[in-house]
Structures are given as C-alpha cells and as structure tokens.
Amino acid sequence: MARKTNNLKMKYTLVLLDFDGTLMDTSPGIIKTILYSMNKLGIPVNKNTNLKTVVGPPLQYGFSSIMKLEKSLVPDAINIYRKRYLERGMYDACHYPGTFEFVDYLREESYTIAVATLKHPSLVRLQTKHFNFDKYLQGVFGSKEGMEDGEKVDIIN
C-alpha cells in the first residue's frame, strides 16, 4: 500500500537567483558595452554573431569564443568593458514583468533570497540598489576579483 505524502511538504529556506536574465534583463547594456569595447579596440564585429549569446557567460569567454577576439586582446577588452559598463551599461536594463511580485511573495513566505552570479558582487549590489531589488536580498554572491573564467557552480558552493 502506497504511503500518503500529500501532507508532507519539503520546506526550503534559501532561494538563489541569477541576476542577468532572471531578475533583470541586462542584455541591452551588456550587448552595447561589448560592441563599444570592440569598437574601442578597432575590431569589426561579424554581423552574423548572435550578440545575445554574450549575455551570461564570463567576459573572457564572450570576447574570445563568441566575439572571436585574439587572446592577447581579451584583457584589454575586459578592462574597456568594465569601465564603460560601470559608467553606463549597468543602467541600461529593466526588470521582467512579475519579478517584484515574485520576490515579494518569497519574502512573505519567509524565504532567504540571495543572488548567485558570475559578476563581481560589488557591481551587482550597485545594480540591485539602483533597480530597487536590494530590499529583497539577504546576500549577493559572485566572482572574486581575478576569477575571469569561473563557473556558477563555484559561486553556489
């Protein structure tokens, strides 16, 4: 005879959310900043490149594998990108419909809400504050300085 388990409810206490593409649509700012960086380096962008694919992966991968930038130019591209993104690109974003209601529901249900991202935590804290997500979050976990090719599993762990 099968056991009834409908009265048993597993209760998680922590919800980890990604930032780019989950809480916020940051693709406009990321794409514009990638294009700006390539332009500053004088490198033309292949018009067949799917620019949406640069959103999410680490910058090093985006510039080397997606944008096909020479390995020797990747550090310069990353430096140009970071400066410009901090100045302008990070503000070219919007939240998805229903996102605030979702995180508000999680908070009302007493979940601990945190962000796990490959970005540097200081940058994400600026963005969450600017876009009013900071009041919902109990933590922001991201890449350490110099961890250019990390993986999300490292952040989660």
**SS3 state of residue 51:** helix
CA–CA separation, 82 and 78 (whole Å): 6
Per-residue pLDDT, averaged over 128-154, amounts to 83
Q: Which residues pair with 16 in a beta bridge?
A: 114
pLDDT in tens, 47-59: 999 999 998 788 8
Q: Where in the chain is the domain with CATH 1.10.150.240?
A: 26-91
Confidence of residue 43 (pLDDT cuts 50, 70, 90): very high
Q: Are 140 and 41 in contact (CB under 8 A)?
A: no
pLDDT in tens, 59-72: 899 999 999 999 99
Q: Where in the chain is the domain with CATH 3.40.50.1000?
A: 14-24+95-156
pLDDT at residue 145, as a whole number: 64
Among 141, 150, 134, 157, smallest CA distance to 24 is for: 134
CA–CA separation, 35 and 143 (whole Å): 23
- Given the candidates 1.20.1070.10, 3.40.50.720, 1.10.150.240, 3.40.50.1010, the CATH classification of the domain at 26-91 is 1.10.150.240
pLDDT in tens, 80-125: 999 999 999 999 999 999 999 999 999 999 999 999 988 889 999 9
Domain 14-24+95-156 has CATH 3.30.1340.30: no
CA–CA separation, 30 and 56 (whole Å): 9
- Which contiguous run of DSSP H or E holds residue 31? helix 27-40
Cα separations (Å) of 13 from 10, 75, 86?
10, 39, 33
